[in-house]
């Protein structure tokens, strides 16, 4: 099939390349000439494992091309995927400006039938709005269908997730649209859910919010574990082995971050609010997430005996491993707090870069930790597990590790003479 993907950000680029990998001819469209130039030259404008190789492969075999020519791209493709951003408005709601722009362009330039699919995370009722925007900007009447096909991929494993989905959700209102989507996904082996557009839109938010709930639940339990001298990772394993609960998303941490969970949870709360429904369980989860970094900082302060004259080495900036994305990363809240307390902060991240004069960023962990009074692990980069902790201890002023991800081998570090503290971790 010939597919147009509008928006070459993170989701759009991955979607386009996975369609190409599945044998479709894809055009990626964006207003941002820099992005298009970079993609056309085979360079990805963000970091994502394995994606650049796939980009180069499909540029070479001409399965994918990129353009800024909106009119031509819309006219030459009957299947149009909308993958533009839906940033957060100040009141927590999702901003649909980009979606509206795209829908109006589709209406304006279409000269025949179009199947318009939203992949961006959009609030319930957006398919209806898209339909109205298209209809309202048509210069002559042409038929079209609007479908919701939400994306569930994670940053850092976007390619794997997009190639191996747990399920595909398709929300449509006509048999013609369902039929075309079945053709597109004809060879997939995963579960395939057909539903109404509104339900598909809500499934996306409800899934992300549920995962956020799981994280906040384990993070709050971790606080109880700290009081009871119980190891929260054992609780997570013990409960997670019940198939009804499941082991994933039960890793205690400094809180969830990223471009999706915080934004999507707020947008769902806004939708509930608009409909006079209270999602109090979700409000509590947001509150746990907001307070989690400060809970850890308080513990750290106690163990350090105050912040004055202290140096803290922060390991990891990105909101999780495998990405350079720092959006809503707990590390930023932590660093901001430490700077305000007058702490000398040095940071390290294998890929993310932090631009501020108030902290020093180093290329190696070894340099970052020199003379530190404590190390604080913010991101679960696997390389931190493999460090030569013996020689790291030599250069520290004080052998204290705060493991905000419970990722290090506490027993081993204790044997080496470290004072180790995890989240809800007792040894």
Query: Catalytic amino acids?
Result: 260
Give yes or no for a contact between 125 and 94, defined as CB atoms under 8 angstroms apart: no
Largest distance between two CA atoms of the chain = 76
Rule CB under 6 A: is residue 74 a binding residue for ligand UDX? no
Q: Which 385-404 positions form the footprint of ligand UDX (CB under 6 A)?
A: none
Q: Are 166 and 136 in contact (CB under 8 A)?
A: no
- Are 83 and 6 spatial neighbours (Cβ–Cβ below 8 Å)? yes
CB 22, CB 1: distance < 8 Å: no
Say whether residue 151 binds ligand UDX (CB under 6 A). Answer: yes
Interface with ligand UDX includes 153 (CB under 6 A)? yes
Q: Per-residue x/- marks for ligand UDX, 403-422, CB under 6 A?
A: --------------------
Residue whose CB is less far from ligand UDX, 107 or 422? 422
The CA-to-CA distance between both ends of the chain, in Å, stands at: 57
Q: How far apart are CA 345 and CA 355, in angstroms?
A: 13
SS3 assignment, position 366 = helix
Taking the C-alpha atoms of residue 221 and residue 425, their distance in angstroms, rounded to an integer, is: 11
Which residue's CB is nearer to ligand UDX, number 98 or number 256?
Answer: 256
Helix (H) or strand (E) holding 47, with range, is none
Of 223 and 251, nearer to ligand UDX (C-beta) is 251
CB of 86 to ligand UDX, least distance (A): 12
Nearest C-alpha neighbor of 345 from the set 380, 307, 319? 307
Binder of ligand UDX out of 46, 47, 109, 152 (CB under 6 A): 152
Compute the distance between CA of residue 282 and CA of residue 213 in angstroms, rounded to an integer. Answer: 7
Ranges within 303-342 binding ligand UDX (CB under 6 A): 319-320
Q: Which of 24, 45, 56, 154 binds ligand UDX (CB under 6 A)?
A: 154
H or E stretch covering 249: none
Q: Which residue has the tokens 């106690």?
A: 302
Residue 215 vs 296, nearer CB to ligand UDX: 215
| 155 counts as binding ligand UDX under rule CB under 6 A | yes
Of the candidate spans 55-63, 152-160, 166-174, 268-276, the one that interacts with ligand UDX by CB under 6 A turns out to be 152-160
**Which of 118, 208 has the CB closer to ligand UDX?**
208
Our measurement of the distance from residue 159's CA atom to the centroid of its chain's CA atoms, rounded to an integer in Å, reads 13
- The residue among 63 and 236 lying less far from ligand UDX, judged by its C-beta, is 236
d(CA 235, CA 223): 12
CB 49 → ligand UDX: shortest distance, Å? 12
Is residue 2 within 8 Å of 25, Cβ to Cβ?
yes
Pick out residues in 354-373 that bind ligand UDX (CB under 6 A). Answer: none
Q: Which is nearer to ligand UDX, 46 or 249 (CB)?
A: 249
In terms of phi and psi (left: phi > 0; alpha: psi -120 to 50; beta: otherwise), the region of 388 is beta
| Total residues at interface with ligand UDX (CB under 6 A) | 19
Answer positive or negative: Cα dihedral of 424, 404, 268, 178: negative
**Local structure of 147: helix, strand or coil:** strand
Binding positions for ligand UDX, 168-207, rule CB under 6 A = none
Minimal distance, residue 265 CB to ligand UDX, in Å: 10
Q: Which is nearer to ligand UDX, 197 or 258 (CB)?
A: 258
In the shown chain, the binding pattern of residues 236 to 265 toward ligand UDX, with x for contact by CB under 6 A and - for none, equals -------------xxx-x--xxx-xx----
Residue 208 as a binder of ligand UDX (CB under 6 A): the answer is: yes
CA torsion angle for 34, 35, 40, 44 (degrees, to 10)? 130
Round to whole Å and give the CA distance between 383 and 157: 17
Q: Quick check: 46 binds ligand UDX (CB under 6 A)?
A: no
The residue whose two tokens read 């979606």 is 99
Asked if 282 interacts with ligand UDX (CB under 6 A), we say no
Q: What is the Cα–Cα distance from 326 to 50, expressed in whole angstroms? A: 20
Query: What residues does 194 pair with on adjacent strands?
Result: 170
Which residues form the interface with ligand UDX (CB under 6 A)?
151-155, 208, 211, 215, 249-251, 253, 256-258, 260-261, 319-320
């Amino acid at each position: 099939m010939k597919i147009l993907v509008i928006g070459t950000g993170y989701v759009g680029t991955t979607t386009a390349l996975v369609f190409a990998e599945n044998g479709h001819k894809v055009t990626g469209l964006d207003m941002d000439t820099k992005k298009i130039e970079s993609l056309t030259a085979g360079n990805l404008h963000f970091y994502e494992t394995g994606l650049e190789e796939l980009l180069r492969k499909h540029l070479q075999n001409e399965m994918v091309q990129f353009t800024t020519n909106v009119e031509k791209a819309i006219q030459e493709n009957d299947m149009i995927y909308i993958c533009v951003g839906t940033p957060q408005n100040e009141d927590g709601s999702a901003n649909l400006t980009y979606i509206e722009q795209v829908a109006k362009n589709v209406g304006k330039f279409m000269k025949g039938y179009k199947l318009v699919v939203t992949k961006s995370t959009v609030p319930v009722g957006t398919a209806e709005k898209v339909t109205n925007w298209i209809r309202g900007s048509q210069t002559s009447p042409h038929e079209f269908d609007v479908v919701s096909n939400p994306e569930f991929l994670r940053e850092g494993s976007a390619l794997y997730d997009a190639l191996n989905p747990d399920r595909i959700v398709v929300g449509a209102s006509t048999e013609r649209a369902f039929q075309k989507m079945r053709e597109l996904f004809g060879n997939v082996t995963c579960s395939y859910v057909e539903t109404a557009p509104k339900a598909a839109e809500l499934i996306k938010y409800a899934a992300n919010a549920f995962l956020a709930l799981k994280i906040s639940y384990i993070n709050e339990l971790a606080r109880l574990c700290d009081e009871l001298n119980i190891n929260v990772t054992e609780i997570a394993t013990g409960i997670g082995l019940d198939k009804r609960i499941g082991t994933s998303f039960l890793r205690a941490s400094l809180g969830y971050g990223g471009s999706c969970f915080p934004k999507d949870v707020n947008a769902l709360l806004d939708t509930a609010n608009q409909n006079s429904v209270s999602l109090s369980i979700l409000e509590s989860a947001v509150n746990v997430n907001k307070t989690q970094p400060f809970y850890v900082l308080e513990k750290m302060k106690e163990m350090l005996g105050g912040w004055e004259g202290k140096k803290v080495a922060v390991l990891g900036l990105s909101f999780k491993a495998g990405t350079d994305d720092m959006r809503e990363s707990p590390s930023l809240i932590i660093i901001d707090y430490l700077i305000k307390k007058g702490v000398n902060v040095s940071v390290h991240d294998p890929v993310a870069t932090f631009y501020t004069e108030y902290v020093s960023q180093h290329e190696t962990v070894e340099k970052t930790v020199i003379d530190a009074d404590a190390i604080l692990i913010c991101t679960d980069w696997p390389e931190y597990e493999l460090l030569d902790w013996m020689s790291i201890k030599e250069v520290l002023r004080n052998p204290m590790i705060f493991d905000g991800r419970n990722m290090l081998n506490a027993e081993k570090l204790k044997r080496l003479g470290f004072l180790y503290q995890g989240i809800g971790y007792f040894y």
